[in-house]
Copies of this chain bind each other. A is one copy, B any other.
Amino acid sequence: MMNAQLTIGSMMEHAETFFFKKEVISQTHDKLHRFTYKEIGQRTRRLMSVLQGLGVNKGDKVGTLAWNHHRHLEIYFAAPGMGAILHTINIRLSPEHIIHIINHAEDKVLFVDEDVLPLIEKISAHLQTVEAFIVMTDKPELPASKLQPLYSYENLIASGDPAHPFAQDIKENDAAGICYTSATTGKPKGVTYSHRGIVLHCYALGLADAAAISESDVAMPVVPQFHVNAWGMPFACTWFGSTQVMPGPQFTPERLATFIEAYQVTITAGVPTIWLALAKELSRGNYDTSSLRAVLCGGSAAPLGLIKTFEEHFGIPFFHAYGATETTPLVTFSRLKSYQRNITSEAKLEEKSRQGILVPGLRMKVVGSDGPVKWDNKEMGELLLQGPWIADSYLHDERSDAAFTEGWFHTGDVVTVDEEGTIKIVDRIKDLIKSGGEWISSVDLENALMAHESVFEASVVAIPDPQWQERPIACVVLKEGYDTDKEELIDFLRPQFAHYWLPDDILFFDEIPKTAVGKFLKRQLREQVKARYTPSK
């Protein structure tokens, strides 16, 4: 067989050749853009030629601080397409962490959205490697800024070569992208994606039994492009010729619902927080969502009630997927097997609340304290992964040794596995509550609480206990208009759990602190609980 390398540039070439009429619809601050893949391809090529002119060479890092839009998509292909490395930076991180990762990755140029510019101005004195800033704006003039040198994206590419070729000397194991992931303690850790990893991951996304991304899709990933490449969807959707819809900066649930109806979106992807908000909006408004064939949910487990609302109330198919920054990210996809089609709707919901089975191309192992666990839906163990789109280390980071041992990536996620090989995320290893020699899953308690009609959000954390080592405390945000009390919620949980699982207390909050990607920030919540907590007995 030919020694043909799997490269990101060739995915854009495929779209330019076979899907040149298809469109990318992109909402920016100022306006709605529509570009065909022919135009996106030409703009990508222009960008490669001007980046070359700015001194960006093979292996250089190209940083982005941007929302989901067409320019960000163009950098997705231009940077790796010329042999440079795309570094997407989470704009919700603390300034301290943003400084760290730009310096640690050694970004040579930074692409910055207009509304992120003030943040970068504040930290620019600390950036050690950045040689140029490029602001992405629709306005003809450059914004007043002390950043130097500062270019306008559109002015720059206007002078670029629309026929500039994708680099032909790229090897598939060359680095194509970098993304940092938050750590429990210390600075964020960098993960490097190879061309090969991203291309193979796209194949997995396109499989009929995974996301089945196709030319006929209108795809609107809501997951940010700065978070694990928006789960790889911009790459896959381009390669397979899907129409792409980008809801732009600081989108609202109303905009999401409006776009779904207006552009007949067929597939969308995001974290449970987004879907909770969208479900609220869909209930309020009168939207036609009949085009939707799939809502993909990842990042953390969706509560059963949310799945039920989408599946049964709105008639929108809802699919769990599971992954992490270290896994490009797709690892498992939840889809009923053909022989499960006739199970009860209750059993179906239960299945849908699980994270699914491994996508083809990866290997898994689930290891508890006594070695591999039984696949009995009960024994808990940490999920370990192998495969061509699984990281083998963190970028220049001594924490690599702890997470990558004997050829396996240790996810830090505790799961159970049923006979079918379907995994269910039980908890993060560090969030499991160890009480009297038993493990208590904070996630199970949270899901049970969120199934109560009055509960909007719930997060369960451990507090140290002299007798039991740790004990669970539930933190709850009630829906508007409810004044449910602790006793009612405990009574609600009682029939569902062993007595020692029941939280020692329930604290009511206006809001639960979340990470930059919408997950519960348990570290911070534990601090708040410690500060507020007065033992109730």
Contacts and interface: CB of A to CB of B under 8 A. Distances in A.
Contacts of A209: 206, 214-216, 240-241
A215 B4 contact: no
A392 B203 contact: no
A14 interface: yes
Contacts of A18: 357-358, 420-421
A240 B207 CA distance: 9
Interface in A1-20: 1-4, 6, 10-11, 13-14, 17-19
A339 B10 CA distance: 24
B390 A2 contact: yes
A392 B215 contact: no
Interface string A201-237: 0111011110011111000000000000000000000
> Quick one: which of A19, A209, A216, A240 has the most chain B CB within 10 A?
A209
A197 interface: yes
A193 B1 CA distance: 6
Contacts of A407: 2
Given A204-B203, A209-B240, A358-B14, A337 B215 contact: yes
Contacts of A10: 363
Contacts of A363: 4, 10, 13
A42 to B, nearest CB: 17
Interface string A354-372: 0001101101000000000
B2 A391 contact: yes
Interface stretch (A64-72, A381-389, A434-442): A381-389
Contacts of A339: 21
A37 interface: no
Contact of A208 (B206, B338, B357, B388): B206
Interface in A294-328: 328
Interface string A256-288: 000000000000000000000000000000000
A360 B212 contact: no
A87 interface: no
A77 interface: no
Copies per complex? 2
Given A10-B363, A215-B338, A388 B207 contact: no
Contacts of A17: 358, 421
Contacts of A152: none
A11 B363 CA distance: 10
A194 interface: yes
A298 B438 CA distance: 59
Interface in A492-527: none
Interface in A172-217: 173, 192-194, 196-197, 200, 202-204, 206-209, 212-216
Contact of A240 (B6, B11, B21, B360): B360
Contacts of A386: 2, 4
A532 to B, nearest CB: 44
A239 interface: yes
Interface string A382-423: 000011111110000000000000010100000000001100
A395 to B, nearest CB: 12
A265 to B, nearest CB: 13
Given A216-B338, A337-B215, A3 B204 contact: no
A197 to B, nearest CB: 4
Contacts of A358: 14, 17-18
Contacts of A328: 1
A1 B388 contact: yes
B214 A203 contact: no
Nearest to A341: B216
A13 B364 CA distance: 11
> Quick one: which of A338, A392, A421 has the most chain B CB within 10 A?
A338
Nearest to A357: B18
A200 B6 CA distance: 10
Contact of A392 (B1, B206, B360): B1
A213 B208 contact: yes
A195 to B, nearest CB: 9
B1 A194 contact: yes
A196 B389 contact: no
A207 B208 CA distance: 6
Nearest to A392: B2
Given A3-B392, A203-B206, A208-B208, 11 more contacts: A1-B192, A2-B390, A2-B391, A4-B390, A14-B360, A17-B421, A203-B203, A207-B207, A208-B212, A212-B212, A216-B337
29 contacts: A1-B196, A1-B197, A1-B328, A1-B389, A1-B390, A2-B386, A2-B387, A2-B391, A2-B407, A4-B390, A10-B363, A13-B363, A17-B358, A18-B357, A21-B339, A203-B203, A203-B206, A206-B207, A206-B360, A207-B207, A207-B208, A207-B240, A208-B208, A209-B215, A209-B240, A209-B241, A215-B338, A216-B337, A241-B337
| 7 closest cross-chain pairs (CB), A and B | A203-B203, A1-B197, A208-B214, A208-B212, A216-B338, A4-B388, A206-B207
